[in-house]
Amino acid sequence: MNGPLRLTWVQPEDLVGHELRQAEEDGRDPSSVRSIRTRWLAAGGHLAPDRAGASPTVPPPTLRTLAESLLDELATLPTPLRGAGNCAPSHNTPAQTPPQPLRVSGSMGSPLLERSRELGEGEGQAPQATATTPHPPQEPAPTPTSYPTRLHHAWLGRATGCLLGKPVEKLPLPAIRTLAQAAGNWPLTTYFTAVGVPDALLRAHPWNKRSAPTSLAENIDGMPEDDDLNYALLNLLLLQRHTRDFTTHDVARLWLDELPAGRTFTAERIAYRNLLDGIEPPHTATHRNPFREWIGASIRADMHGWTNPGDPTAAADQAHRDATLTHTGNGVYGAMFVAAAIAEAATGTVDIHHALRTGLAHVPPRSRLADAVRLGIDTAERHDDFDAAVDHLHAALGHHHWVHVLPNTALLAAALTHADGDFTHSICRAVSGGWDTDSNGATAGSLAALVSPTPVPTRWTAPLHNRLATSLPHLDGIGFDTLARLTHREATR
């Protein structure tokens, strides 16, 4: 007999705990948040599942009704933070106004920033460039003959970094270290394997059940499907159909046309559900969406950087239009940071540290996302031992969910800084730090491949067989060389 259908990331009884945590981060009235938490737990509700996307048991109808009511009540609580994302109880209730582009004046360029609850400066006032938010001059775009090859490297880098992290996604940091050490693969230098790992350890720390059959070293045969690659494919389709002038509504329509709902997770699944309920952007990002500052928009940002080499401002602008379908605040800033850093790295003329500084210059300097990037960079620079750097980041940011944008962006910045441009070290450090391992490995691989003077090592790419699996229509089995050519076409038209 089959058990109950427990759909991840959308059930109201599972969203309340996540929204209570997000309400605290938004600065909503503490006494009101505590009162709602007390009522929820007294009624038999639970806090957010720690690792899984759904609780295991079906609640009584009265508890689910209460969950829906409390989600709407939390949405009405005032917050002192502008743009924190009002999870409006209906699409007729005013949600967050999409931030308007702002530009920083001065001799060091004019990166796109936003009106933000976190700027700490007067409403509508452009933040001034400071020593902690450098604005490096833009580099010239690469020549047409060199860029297709680098795009090929970037696609392969994203795929291999993602593949490295897939078997240990969701596992806590001690489990990742224990499994790799048992296989003689620590510090991490290659794909995970079950070969040589004692059965007792495998029972205590099971691999990601969906990924292990396709992503352990002994099982790899082509690049398996993953949302970290699906969104790059989707954004390639987006640009083919709508050019770089696409709107957030264009993103929404494309998802409904091409993206299976079951291939969405966290904020993307909530936004998809909201679209099916007739809610339009940007309300899709705020209605009953406690995942609005998680990592989902960041994993969609590579294509925006790849198609704007040397123009990080345009890349950040595209990432913003994409991200506001599903995210607010730091969730949007994370995507802008990644897109701008990749656009700068795509010139082939800068090192990874310059690329990271460029990404940082394109987010509000007093945002928590900017703080996370600076923390990651500073931590990497202070520790020769990367494990010690990771321990420091987990002590500082481990209270966040493992999919939240803040700890993952800090780890990404730390891994890339510590690796100093080396491809293998970049993806291995990003994955060995835990949290959202496949997403961090993917973005680290994309950036490291762009700044590296040499191709992604064959030992990483050979098992991919130039083949990417996906459930997106007509794209299953496509080669990375083909994807590079198609991406180059969009970057140059």
Instruction: For residue 83, give Cα distances in angstroms to 219, 335, 367.
Output: 45, 16, 12
Cα–Cα dist 134/183, whole Å: 43
Q: Which residue carries 């991490």 as its tokens?
A: 188
Q: Residue 328 forms beta bridges with which residues?
A: none
Give the DSSP H or E segment for 446. Answer: helix 437-451
* CA atoms 470, 472, 478, 479: torsion sign: negative
Q: What is residue 5's predicted lDDT score, i.e. its pLDDT?
A: 77
Residue 81: exposed, middle, or buried by beta-carbon count in 10 A (0-12, 13-18, 19+)?
Answer: middle
Quick: pLDDT tens for 389-448.
999 999 999 999 999 999 999 999 999 999 999 999 999 999 999 999 999 999 999 999
Assess whether the previous peptide bond of 463 is cis (omega < 30° from 0). Answer: no
Rounded distance between C-alpha atoms, residue 243 and residue 257, angstroms: 17
Asked if pLDDT for residue 111 goes beyond 50, the answer is no
- Residue 224, classified by CB atoms within 10 Å of its CB into exposed (0-12), middle (13-18) or buried (19+), is buried
d(CA 396, CA 419): 21
Q: Which of these, 88, 86, 80, lies nearest to 118 by C-alpha position?
A: 80
Answer for the pair 223, 470: CB distance below 8 angstroms, yes or no. no
Taking every pair of Cα atoms in the chain, the longest distance, rounded to a whole number of angstroms, is 69
Rounded Cα distance, 394 and 388, in Å: 10
pTM of the predicted model as reported, rounded to 2 decimal places: 0.89
pLDDT of 270 reads 98
Q: According to the model, what pLDDT value does residue 53 have?
A: 82
The pLDDT value given to residue 148: 95
Q: Report the chain's mean pLDDT, rounded to a whole number.
A: 88
Radius of gyration, alpha carbons of the chain: 21
Contact 117, 317 (CB under 8 A): no
What pLDDT, on a 0 to 100 scale, did the predictor assign at position 372? 98
Match 């509504």 to its residue by tokens.
Answer: 249
Q: 367 or 141: whose pLDDT is higher?
A: 367
- 51-60, 318-327, 438-447: least confident range: 51-60
Q: pLDDT value at position 398?
A: 97
Stretch (H or E) spanning 112: strand 112-114
Q: Which two tokens stand for residue 226?
A: 């993953």
446 phi/psi in degrees, rounded to 5 = -65, -50
Q: Are 312 and 457 in contact (CB under 8 A)?
A: no
Alpha helices (runs of H) in 212-310, residue ranges in sequence order: 212-215, 227-242, 248-258, 266-276, 302-306
Check whether 145 has a pLDDT greater than 80. Answer: no
Q: State the alpha helices, DSSP H only, in 324-401.
A: 329-345, 352-360, 368-382, 386-397
Domains of the chain, earliest start first: 12-76 (no CATH), 147-162+224-491 (1.10.4080.10)
- pLDDT classification of 49: cutoffs 50, 70, 90: confident
HSE-CB for 262 with a 13 A CA cutoff = 5
Res. 144: pLDDT tops 70: no
Alpha carbon distance 390, 400 (integer Å): 15
The tokens describing 210, both together, are 């969906």
Return the ∠ at Cα 272 (arms to 233 and 245), rounded to 5°: 50
State the pLDDT at residue 179.
Answer: 98
Distance CA 132, CA 211 (A): 40
Contacts with 137 (C-beta within 8 Å, 6 or more apart), sequence order: 108, 109
- 252 CB-near residues (< 8 Å, 6+ apart): 271, 275, 280, 281, 284, 325
Residues composing the chain: 493
**Helices and strands counted in the chain (H then E):** 21, 2
Q: Closest Cα to residue 71, out of 98, 101, 39?
A: 39
Contact present, 224 and 215 (Cβ < 8 Å): yes
Give the 3-state secondary structure percentages of the chain, helix then strand then coil, rounded to 5.
55, 0, 45
Per-position DSSP letters for 116-164, written without gaps between them: -TTS-S-TTPPPPP-TTS--PPPPPPPPTTTHHHHHHHHHHHHHHHHHH
Above 90 in pLDDT, residue 124? no
Q: 1: pLDDT confidence band, cut at 50, 70 and 90?
A: low
**Cis peptide bond prior to 187, omega within 30° of 0:** yes
At 77-100, the pLDDT tens digits run 988 765 454 433 333 322 333 333
